[in-house]
Structure 1
Amino acid sequence: MNVRSEMKRLLFVGIVAVFLLAPSTTRGEVSRVEIAERKLFANGHPFGQVGAYESISGRLHFEIDPIAEENVRICDLELPPRNAGGQVEYWQDFFLLRPVDPRKGNGCLLYDVHNRGSKLALWTFNDAEMSATPSTMQHAGNGFLMREGYSVLWTGWNGDVVDDGTGRLLAGLPIAKNSDGTTITGRNYVEFIVDEPKFSEAFYFSQWGTAAGYPTVDLHDAGARLTRRESRSADAIVVPRTDWAFADYDDGKVTANPTSLYVKAGMKPGWIYELLYTARDPRVSGLGLAGIRDAVSFFRYGEGDRSAATNQPLSAACDRAIIFGISQSGRLAHHFMYEGFNRDSDGRTIFDGAVIHVAGAGKGLFNSRFGMATVYGTQLRQNLSPADFFPFATSVQEDPETGATGDSLARLRGQGELPKLFFVQSSTEYWSRAASLLHTDVNGSRDVDPEANTRIYLIAGSQHLGATATDRGICRYMRNPLKHRGPVLRALLTSMDAWVAHEIEPPPSEYPRIDDGTLVSVEEFRTQFPSISNVDTPTTCYQPLRLNPGPRWMTDGIADTVPPTVGKPYRTLVPAVDADGNERSGIRLPDVSVPTATYMGWNLRDEALGAVGSLADLNGGYLPFPAVSASGDSRTPLTERYRSQSEYLSKYSAAVSTLWQQSFLLAEDAIRMLAEARDADPWNRSAP
């Protein structure tokens, strides 16, 4: 029987089928699987020697024991309803891509942590068109993950993702209730900063997907309080209760909405609006972490006799697993390890390795009452949300202010071998996400070396958002077009897989350090940056505050002090730069080491948008070199830097070769980059 005929048979027996598995144990695991669709991926296109791929999608149902030892860290797990067996039930969507013949795969399950319900692995590693339901050759992109034989799994873990009809992965997490069944309420804090004049904005609005906020207990709550201030250092001004409402504003009409803020006078760009109100119905958000644990355990260790009717067709046929996450998803991966979820109920390893991309030193509000996964701090935003907290590093740190000592893997120690970790940062994470705290003490006075299981990589001159167009957006300067994400991450994923599968050591860490002068204060950075007319440098970077939400926060995930008590900030540092303004440390791609421009992980907000002098969130910057000597620009012009196109290409080729030898580029990407450089014209300002 050929592959296509076999897939037709599977579709006939499997589509919209419900597979009932063996009865759930009292520990917590997948109890039932609904398969909504199973089909050939990319019309059965063969990917090298691995051959065709198939996609299987549907919904996983879980039952979890609220008193089992491995679940004690889940906030409020004792409070949602239980079934007749005393278990808590919830569900998560799933989507699996695997070789049609699993024996031809490479034996590795790559778990891509969705970001606000969106799948990112194919877009990242395959340079593919992003899709909620990948199915075509456009969604396969260059085919890298398929050619290499990875099985790729996504599950819905985040209970605040909204079903907006675009196919985002969802999770059905239960609502916690008081022991007598009544509604749980609590004070909640929400911050708003708009980039254009608005009369209303949803709680936790995001251009990448607005999260489901916690509703107010009363649309007319007289105890709710709204303040506004022009900057972080300015005094807060109370907005009279009659001048705002829990509502939307659209086309001149105000409509009540328990998860949206309406301001009668309008919201000013760059101003900080802080809402304090009483919320209700907290989700048991930590079940998202438990669901990842139990879903990957199911796909990794599921046995054929679990479902005689299907002989376990969902098996990923893998002997190892790697978790991958970008930004919020990377913070989730780090937090997953911090909470100690990397063992299943039988003590088996979930993830052998983790590739954590552009997460800075952060974890998040993934396992707390009224916690929101989307919340993170930057120099301008969300300084009072306790998403970035001690300990930051995977090796031991001390906090002299509080007396605390610890590391983010403490709960995994003693459970078996620690997972192997890559923290891959853009320059932006040092400016806007406190990345230096991964490898310094909390005072920013000395280096703290990562442990043997951890590598830290800075991709010099890159920005959090990856390569973008050079239009300014909300920024004062052009945005950063440096393409780093695909080429570097493909090489690093290959190295991680070789490390976990064969104990082949990956490249040494490449990040800025205090002891060699490549990690410096913002004040020192300002003395190093070149003099360029009409270009100002930042005066500060993100420095997380020591926040105290109350006595139950660290143990139970419940904030009693909202907003939290504010203590001294942690001291963060930024990468040092050379005379061109390009960073001296990290993985220096040829565009940085053989430059035609200054590539920056920071940018400043457009002054017309308020918050003058503030960093432009997660944006980087791009300042092309002048072609000839220019007054007011201390950088060497292109015509003096490279005598000819041949000289430029020679230096560029040497830089590519070095990165390939260091295993920071694969051969296929090195060849492509050389071809692109040959066709490029570095003196052509219209095509940076």
Structure 2
Amino acid sequence: MKQFLFVSLSAILVSVSVAQAEVTRVEIAERKSFAEGHQFGQTGAYELVSGRLYFDVDPLADANSRVCDIDLAPRNPAGRVEFWADFFLLKPVDSSKGNGCLLYDVHNRGSKLALWTFNDAEITSSPSTMAHAGNGFLMREGYSVLWTGWNGDVVDDGTGRLLAGLPIAKNSDGTSITGLNYVEILVDEPKESQEFYFSPWGTSAGYPTVDLHDSTAKLTRRASRSAEASLVPRDEWAFAEVEGGKVVPHSTSLYVKEGLKPGWIYELVYTARDPRVSGLGLAGLRDAISFFRYNPRTAEAATDNPLSGMCDRAIIFGISQSGRLIHHFMYEGLNNDVKGRTVFDGAVIHVAGAGKGLFNSRFGMATVYGTQLRNNLLPADFFPFTPTLQADRLTNAKGDTLARLRSQGELPKIFFVQTSTEYWSRAGSLLHTDVEGVRDLDLEENARIYLIAGAQHLGATSTDRTICRYMRNPLKHRGPVLRALLKSMDDWVAREAEPPASEYPRIDDGTLVSVQEFQSQFPTIPGVETPAVCYQPLRLNLGPRWQTEGIADIVPPIVGKPYQTLVPAVDEDGNELAGIRLPDVAVPTATYMGWNLRDEAYGAAGSLADLHGGYLPFSATRQVGDSRVPLNERYRTHEEYLAKYSTAVVSLWQQRFLLAVDAMSMLSEARKRNSGKAPEE
């Protein structure tokens, strides 16, 4: 458990009356200058405040009724449920110089991403230096930036990841709750063993088996998503890991005697125990923001709320898993606190596709999401998908993801920001089409959808291939576009200034098409194969209690027909027609793709390479078999290229998809490179 340095008695907050707030105590572990006291423009210096929040919630309150298994959580003598969460806050030292907005960054597997995103800063779990402040954008603008723990499966690896201490649900007699659980494992290189929920971004704590020698547990494997599964004999695998060449029993790790083959899908069904009450993480997020927004200072403890009176509005931001969490948070109707007050006025949901997640279910794991190759049998992407009314004729289901909030009153303002990857690998089209992929749906008036054309999931990378068949995508979008959109969201929230109109592909204008139509549009390029399929979430039947209680009775689920997803149409260069077309796409020197294929050396050859995009530079001169116009015919001089590039930059600035400072930076960078060189991160 994280150890706290209590620097003085004044840094330990006294208990707050339970009747006043769900946050009952705050322990401050550290309070110091941020970035060596650097003066950020007119805002001035910032300070860092970190510690731990303690919660005490009423399991019978209507506001907590959606939390799965809260009735089975341990209760204190007052009949309430207790838990805790780490917090980390950056705020102006002079409260009068802030902009009045609390920006809450949903951590991703315990990691803080807002400074990396908006400030182009060095990524870290413990920001404190000028390198961690990056270009200082959020500080110059005067935002107070907050992170809190919400995810009970984050493992403390000593790097400063945010943790949450969520209770374990128990039977009424105090015994362990058990149940069937499904785990899928796929590796990209040969391994003897792997933890259930390994991730290069942070391995999550899985649910242990009830018995290391459980004879009823079953492991199957298949060579690809479409291949038939075959049973692995029980004596050929174990709940174990390999350490120093030895096989060591491990309740949340899979060992296979002949080794795990790259690209093969291993599916384990076993009896797990001790589910966390994971939905309390969402309730705690709600109550933490309510505390920081609304709780006043008190005579007993002058430091009880470091943000008291500083913020009159709040915006939530999240990338990928964190974005899915935001959509799910809204779906559960949690954007009003226990007193009915608004928690978040606005939300910027980045690269979440049409997904929500397993954030509030028994044996749910926040880290899980589906792609074309992986995790198709885990219900992280489920109906309804859209923030407006949607119907499924096959199941007779109707709904929208904001229905619960709609019934409570005013809706938050929401941006869904997607890259091309979300349409290929995360079912992004289901955010705005019917589930048959036949027609567009009208958008909620408080929502906007933006596609960043040709971009990949996490932004620009080096062009090295890793597991991919083609070079990866170097298109830089994350900082410039999201800085502009954050400003637009804040203007919308604070001043009712309308944001830029939605920019996304549609069926009715031919910019959103089937994979087969996309294949017919894509240019001919020697050695390049296009995908045969995109990710299509499956209709999954997990039993009668899944929809109402979040408890799966059928594991693995009964598989129904997939939902029909579509992908962005492309021009003769293979670049996407709709969305926010950055200058490198509008005035191209290459084809930028949100998709890539797995190289055969890593197994499952031809499958989509998860969340990677691709990059196919134009040839300098005409090449046999390449239908794209070469650079020497496309741009007669470098000056002609720069003139067209400048026009594209100015257009995006005028549409408010770039700030002036980023527009000038793009123009400066373009002047430094010739028209055939790739952009650099």
Deviation at 1:231, TM superposition (A): 1.4
The answer to whether the aligner puts 1:492 opposite 2:485 as a matched pair is: yes
Kindly report which structure 2 residues correspond to 1:292-441, keeping only aligned pairs within 5 A, or say none. 292-305=285-298, 307-310=300-303, 312-315=305-308, 317-441=310-434
The code of the aligned residue for 1:683 comes to G
Deviations 1:603-648 (A, max 9, x none): 0000111112100000000000000000111000000000001000
Q: SS of the counterpart of 1:94?
A: strand
> Residue 98 of structure 1 contacts residue 316 of structure 1 at CA under 8 Å; is this kept in 2?
no
Instruction: Say whether residues 1:615 and 2:615 are aligned partners.
Output: no
Q: Check the 8 A contact 2:16/2:23 in 1, yes or no.
A: no
Relative to structure 1, is the Cα distance of residues 339 and 616 closer, same or farther in structure 2, using a 3 angstrom cutoff?
A: same
Verify: 1:257 aligned to 2:264, yes or no. no
Partner of 2:16: 22
Question: In structure 1, what residue type is equivalent to 2:17?
Answer: P
The residue that corresponds to 1:514 in the other structure is 507
> How far apart are the structure 1 equivalents of 2:288 and 2:483?
25
What displacement does 1:28 show? 6.2
Corresponding pairs, count: 677
Native 8 Å contact 1:14 1:37 kept in 2: no
Which residue identity does 1:185 align to in structure 2?
T
Provide TM-score, normalisation by structure 1.
Answer: 0.97
* Structure 1 position 303, deviation (Å): 1.0
Cα distance in structure 2, aligned partners of 1:315 and 1:167: 26
* Change in CA separation of 1:335 and 1:687 when aligned onto 2, cut-off 3 Å: closer
Note if contact 2:126-2:159 (Cα within 8 Å) is conserved in structure 1: no
**Partner SS, residue 298 of structure 2:** helix
Once the 2 structures are TM-superposed, how far is the Cα of residue 349 of structure 1 from its aligned partner? 0.1
Q: What's the offset of the Cα at 1:133?
A: 1.3
Aligned twin of 1:536 = 529
Paired amino acid for 2:389: V
Report the 3-state secondary structure (helix = DSSP H, G, I; strand = E; otherwise coil) of the residue aligned with 2:292. Answer: helix
1:194 to 182, 187, 197: 187
Structure 1 distance, partners of 2:195, 2:604, is 21
Residue 43 (structure 1) shift: 1.3
Q: Which of 475, 478, 488 is the matching residue for 2:468?
A: 475
Cα deviation, residue 24, structure 1: 1.2
1:14-53 correspondence runs (5 A): 17-25=11-19, 29-53=22-46
Amino acid paired to 2:152: G
Name stretches of at least 5 consecutive residues in structure 1 with no aligned partner.
1-9
1:69-80 counterparts in 2 under 5 A? Answer: 69-80=62-73
Letter in 2 for 1:127: D
Q: Distance in 2 between matches of 1:306 and 1:603?
A: 59
Query: Are the counterparts in 2 of residues 151 and 316 from structure 1 also a CA contact under 8 Å?
Result: no
Residue matched to 1:4: none
Q: CA 1:630–1:686 in structure 2 vs 1: closer, same or farther (change >3 Å)? A: farther
The 3 A distance-change label for structure 1 pair 372 and 396 is same
- Rounded to whole Å, the distance in 1 between the matches of 2:114 and 2:309 is 17
> For residues 303 and 421 of structure 1, what CA distance do their matches in structure 2 show?
28
Candidates 632, 653, 665, aligned match of 2:658: 665
Question: Which amino acid in 1 is paired with 2:143?
Answer: Y
Partner of 1:287: 280
After superposition, the C-alpha distances for 1:197-244 in whole angstroms (9 at most, x for unaligned) are 111000011010000000000000000000011112221110000000
Any idea what SS the aligned residue of 1:255 has? strand
Is the Cα contact below 8 Å between 1:335 and 1:364 reproduced in 2?
yes
Counterpart residue identity of residue 171, structure 2: N
CA distance 1:634–1:147, change in 2 (3 Å): same
1:311 and 1:369 map into 2 onto residues whose CA distance is 34
Deviations 1:480-539 (A, max 9, x none): 000000000000000000000000000000000000000000000000000000000000
**Counterparts of 2:309 and 2:105 in 1: how far apart (Å)?**
14
Q: Is the 8 A contact 1:321 1:353 kept in 2?
A: yes
- Aligned-pair CA distance for 1:685: 6.9
State the partner residue of 1:3: none
**CA distance in 2 between partners of 1:369 and 1:174 (Å):** 12
1:22–1:307: 8 Å Cα contact kept in structure 2? no
Any idea what the Cα deviations from partners look like across 1:17-75, whole Å, max 9, x if unmatched? 321132212x8610100000000111111111111000100000000100100000000
Question: Is the counterpart of residue 466 in structure 1 residue 472 in structure 2?
Answer: no
Pair 1:549 & 2:550 matched: no
Aligned alpha-carbon RMSD (Å): 1.4
Aligned partners of 2:589, 2:496: CA distance in 1, in Å? 39
The corresponding residue for 1:110 is: 103
Question: CA–CA distance in 1 between the matches of 2:396 and 2:290?
Answer: 37
CA distance in 2, matches of 1:314, 1:495: 23
Q: How far apart in 2 are the matches of 1:408 and 1:685?
A: 40
Q: Indicate the SS of the match to 1:33.
A: strand
Structure 1 stretch displaced more, 373-382 or 131-140: 131-140
- Please say if residues 21 and 307 of structure 1, whose CA atoms lie closer than 8 Å, have aligned partners that are also in contact: no
Q: CA deviation at 1:310?
A: 3.3
For 1:268 and 1:316, the matched residues in 2 are separated by 56
Match of 2:270 in 1: 277
Matched, 1:575 2:568: yes
Q: Give the CA deviation at 1:100.
A: 0.4
Query: Aligned residue for 1:83?
Result: 76
What SS does the corresponding residue of 2:289 show, helix, strand or coil? Answer: helix
Q: Deviations over 1:651-672 (max 9, x none)?
A: 0000000000000000000000
Quick check: 1:463–1:600 contact (8 Å CA) kept in 2?
yes
Q: Normalised by the size of structure 2, how large is the TM-score?
A: 0.98
List structure 1 runs of 4+ shifted beyond 6 angstroms: 685-688
Give SS of 1:93's match: strand
Are 2:592 and 2:616, in contact at CA under 8 Å, matched by a contact in 1?
A: yes
Amino acid at match of 1:36: A
